Amino acid sequence: MSMAADPVLILGSGLAGWAVARELRKLDPAASLMMITGDSGDFYAKPSLSNAFAQGRLPAQLVGTPAAEMTRSLGVALLSRTTVESIDRSAKAVVTGSGRLHYSRLVLATGARPVRLPLAGDGAAAVRSVNSLEDFSAFHAQLRPGSHVAIMGAGLIGCEFANDLASAGFGVSVIDPSSRPLAALLPQAAGEALRQALHALGAKWHLGTAVQAVHRDGDRLQLDLANGERVTADAVLSAVGLRADIALAQAAGLACDRGIVVDATLATSDPDIFALGDCAQYASGLWAQGPVSGGRTLPFVLPIMSAAKVLAARLAGQPGTLRFPLMPVAVKTPALPLVVASPPHGSPGQWHGREEGLWHFMDDGGLARGFVLAGKQTSRRAELARRFAI
């Protein structure tokens, strides 16, 4: 393959990978595009995994567009069920089990992997995580009517699954070391309101403690908690967080921190390699002008779409730098609808209740830097987004 014919190579077929392909095809109809993915390549909305049970949707029904249709409409050569073993930066190639593939530019959209806590007990291997459609299919197949599910983690994904499973008639127990759900995102009063709303659906809470061991008890699983309590369940779902998948990038010598560090044009420390999505750590500055600084991971849909447009322009030879707008997050908990626009974690300041269902985060200078809307107040999302700057 000649250098002129080498494609833009995208690793990963999640929203980030397909969004880049779609946006680049709009700008450059003739661009040579190839995608490598470890799964089928089917396009689906990952957020739909945590609200499918209540809607009665089977795993196959969550596929929005089959891989064959995606590749045909976007003109992408797809290698599915393929593992990339390493990146050879000097040769501008990736190494797979089937051989080497060269690229002109490489896009890393490798996503994130579930955090797995060390657990004792002969049932620890039965604990599931749901981070893909295949994960969801296996979890879905495990449950029977009336099954009881223990959820480790009361963060965003844990609470969404708790709402979804309880609404679908399953028993639910939620275990988390924090004193309330969504403790990292919500003020105390909002977290307590969410706890009560999910409790009304039937969710049982075990807060201020953690799972230490999981043992098999016949066909069921027994969870031993740090506070001495025991919870018996038919399935255990771990939702304690995600960690950016940076293994390939690290092995290739790219700058990495909590994610693959990219500058304002989505370039990594190698000017021919880019990254976006859950694997990326978005920093300020440009590599060409000096070291980039700061940065944060943003595992949500709106940041991916913003980043994909900027990266596509860059790949098409057009100028552009990434500047994120205010991006409120809608939490899929119908028992208590929530919209959250939190300041970066660790920001100095405090939450203040302005009126029922509305909280502002005020920094030390008295400026409003974030908001939370609950219940009927969520209808004010667009209004609040226009008024706030985070």
- pLDDT tens for 85-120 read 999 999 999 999 889 999 999 999 999 999 999 999
* Average pLDDT of the segment spanning 329-335: 95
- Above 70 in pLDDT, residue 2? no
Residue 59 — very low, low, confident or very high, per pLDDT cuts 50/70/90?
A: very high
* Average pLDDT of the segment spanning 140-148: 96
Largest CA distance in the chain: 65
* Average pLDDT of the segment spanning 152-166: 97
Confidence (pLDDT) at 299: 80
Q: How far is CA 190 from CA 206, 337, 359, in A?
A: 18, 11, 8
Compute the radius of gyration of the chain from its Cα atoms.
22
- At 84, list the tokens: 């990339």
Residue 1 — very low, low, confident or very high, per pLDDT cuts 50/70/90?
A: very low
C-beta atoms surrounding 10 within 10 Å: 27
- At 295, list the tokens: 């940065």
Residue 57 contacts residue 346 (beta carbons within 8 Å): no
3-state secondary structure the chain: CCHHHCCEEEECCCHHHHHHHHHHHHHCCCCCEEEECCCCCCEECHHHHHCHHHHCCCHHHHEEECHHHHHHHHCEEEECCCCEEEEECCCCEEEECCEEEECCEEEECCCEEECCCCCECCCHHHCECCCCHHHHHHHHHHCCCCCEEEEECCCHHHHHHHHHHHHCCCEEEEEECCCCCCCCCCCHHHHHHHHHHHHHHCCEEEECCCEEEEEEECCEEEEEECCCCEEEECEEEECCCEEECCHHHHHCCCCECCCEEECCCCECCCCCEEECHHHEEEEECCHHHCCCEEEECCCCHHHHHHHHHHHHHHHCCCCCCCCCCCCCEEECCCCCCEEEECCCCCCCEEEEEEECCEEEEEECCCCEEEEEEEHHHHHHHHHHHHHCCC
Residue 119 contacts residue 207 (beta carbons within 8 Å): no
Q: Which is more confidently placed, 184 or 13?
A: 13
Query: pTM score, two decimals?
Result: 0.92
Residue 111 contacts residue 277 (beta carbons within 8 Å): yes
Q: How far is CA 16 from CA 80, 103, 109, 278, 321, in A?
A: 16, 18, 6, 8, 17
* Average pLDDT of the segment spanning 146-166: 97
Confidence (pLDDT) at 293: 76
Instruction: Round the average pLDDT of the chain to a whole number and report it.
Output: 93
Q: Which domains does the chain have, with CATH numbers?
A: 3-113+243-315 (3.50.50.60), 116-240 (3.50.50.60), 337-387 (3.30.390.120)
